[in-house]
Amino acid sequence: MNISKFKVEYWLNPLDDKAEYNLGSSCCQPVTVEQLLEMTGTDKEGFFQEISSMSLHYGYFEGMPRLKKAIAGLYTDAVSEDMILSVHGGTGANSIVCYALCEQGDNVVSILPNYQQYYSIPEAIGVEVRIFTCDAASGYAIDFDKIRAMVDENTKMINLANPNNPTGYTLTKGQLEELVDIAKSVDAYLVCDEIYRGLSDEYMYSICDLYEKGIATSSTSKVFSSAGTRVGWIVTRDLALKDTLMNMRSYHSICEGPINELIAAIVLENKDLFYKRNKNIVEEARAALYEWIKGQPHFKVACDSKSSTSFICYDFDIPALEFAQGLYEEKQVLVCHGACFEQEHSFRIGYGFGDVDYFKGGLARIGEYVKSLEEKGAI
């Protein structure tokens, strides 16, 4: 298929382990297996004995029951284990949803900024994609009237990331219900990439809690510090749709493998430990960001984040890719440039990695770089 370059992967992955200050990643500080066992009080010997005696056959086609139970525990009682499909990562989840839902003649409403899969896969399939872009001027708020005007009887899905990637903007329950109302008006699916959900003292509602045609995707990669399990999932209360998704999964990945499913189950059974640990990490770093940005007249964070990233806009006329390239080359700081999210003059900064001094060091380098641009008369 004629599909666009996946910008964020092309930009970040080759530089991920090379930058002196890597502020590009959006993951919360990854754990080692040993740290996972220690923080969750899992018996190490018993764990390795279980792995040791595990058959390397396919494992569970429907997902390991223990894992599905742990996933169901992330939602309200509206969600039960039979509504869950375990898949290969959040990427696998989004991919399966897009391929399974989009058909010729449909249209898709995609609320940007968003993960690129949600507009580039439908485009590649040949489906009309109607883009609504939240912008910095309005603090990345969604204009519900505009979304309502964009949908029609051929709208198969409305999709968004909540909490948003890259801005961290998070819809309240009431705002989600407004979107549900719009989706219901045309009988559309409402798909939320919820991979950044959970870093809050209050329960963050999932679209699956609120809408029978809601589809939530997520994984262990971000707020659960365990991208290496490659375990993701799709949740929907629409069981006929789940069967369609399962068929698409057979074409995509079959199943997830028992070792990774076991590790993911341990992670998710201890969700509150991860939420608390990572909320502390991101709040400390975010406070440092907000403090630093007060002294940066060219920069602005246009909305508060409930996630592990914030999105910074700048007021000078250097393209987003060029700015990020210069910053990397001159100051060895990696950020995720805004064009990865179809947003110019901006970049995403990640601060979930858990070393606030390192983070401050990276911010200082960014400040130096802007100063050097000023001194050169480039801005």
Least distance between a second copy and beta carbon 178 (Å): 30
Backbone φ and ψ for 309, nearest 5 degrees, come out as -140, 160
Residue selected from 11, 19, 23, 59 as contacting a second copy according to rule CB under 8 A:
59
Cβ pair 103, 156 in contact under 8 A: yes
Neighbours of 207 (CB within 10 A): 29
C-beta of 101 vs 313, nearer to a second copy: 101
The CA distance from 379 to 377, in Å, is 5
Kindly state the smallest distance separating residue 343's Cβ from a second copy, in Å.
19
What distance in Å separates the CA atoms of residue 187 and residue 208, rounded to the nearest whole number? Answer: 15
Give me the least distance between CB of 174 and a second copy, in Å please: 33
CA distances from 101 to 9, 95, 152, 209, 301 (A): 24, 10, 16, 20, 35
DSSP calls for 246-305? HHHHHHHTS---HHHHHHHHHHHHTHHHHHHHHHHHHHHHHHHHHHHHTT-TTEEE-S--
State yes or no: residue 251 binds a second copy (CB under 8 A).
yes
Q: Segment contacting a second copy (CB under 8 A): 88-96, 206-214, 330-338, 366-374?
A: 88-96
Q: How far is the CB of 212 from a second copy (least distance, A)?
A: 23
Rounded to the nearest whole angstrom, what is the least distance from the CB of residue 62 to a second copy in the complex?
8
The yes or no reply on residue 335 touching a second copy (CB under 8 A) is no
Q: Does 55 bind a second copy (CB under 8 A)?
A: yes
Q: Does 230 bind a second copy (CB under 8 A)?
A: yes
The answer to whether 117 contacts a second copy (rule: CB under 8 A) is yes
**Least distance to a second copy, CB of residue 269, Å:** 15
Q: Is 239 in the site for a second copy (CB under 8 A)?
A: no
Collapsing DSSP states into helix, strand and coil, what is residue 217?
Answer: strand
Phi, psi of 87 (to 5 degrees): -140, 180
> Any contact of residue 356 with a second copy (CB under 8 A)?
no
Taking the complex as a whole, the smallest distance from the CB of residue 54 to a second copy amounts, in Å, to 6
Considering the rule CB under 8 A, would residue 102 count as an interface residue with a second copy? yes
Q: Does 378 bind a second copy (CB under 8 A)?
A: no
Among 173, 247, 287, 355, contact with a second copy (rule: CB under 8 A): 247
Q: Enumerate residues 20-49 that contact a second copy by CB under 8 A.
A: 27, 30-34, 36-37, 44, 48
Provide the 3-class DSSP secondary structure of residue 349: strand
Q: How far is the CB of 337 from a second copy (least distance, A)?
A: 16
Strand order in the sheet with 336-337: 299-301, 309-314, 346-350, 336-337
CA distances from 258 to 50, 235, 239 (A): 11, 20, 24
The crossing angle, in degrees rounded to 10, of helices 44-52 and 258-269 is 150
Q: Using the rule CB under 8 A, is 69 a contact of a second copy? A: no
Q: Would you tell me which residues interact with a second copy (CB under 8 A)?
A: 1-3, 5-6, 9-10, 13-14, 16, 27, 30-34, 36-37, 44, 48, 51-59, 61, 88-89, 91-92, 95, 99-100, 102-104, 117, 120-121, 125-126, 221, 225-230, 247-248, 250-260, 263
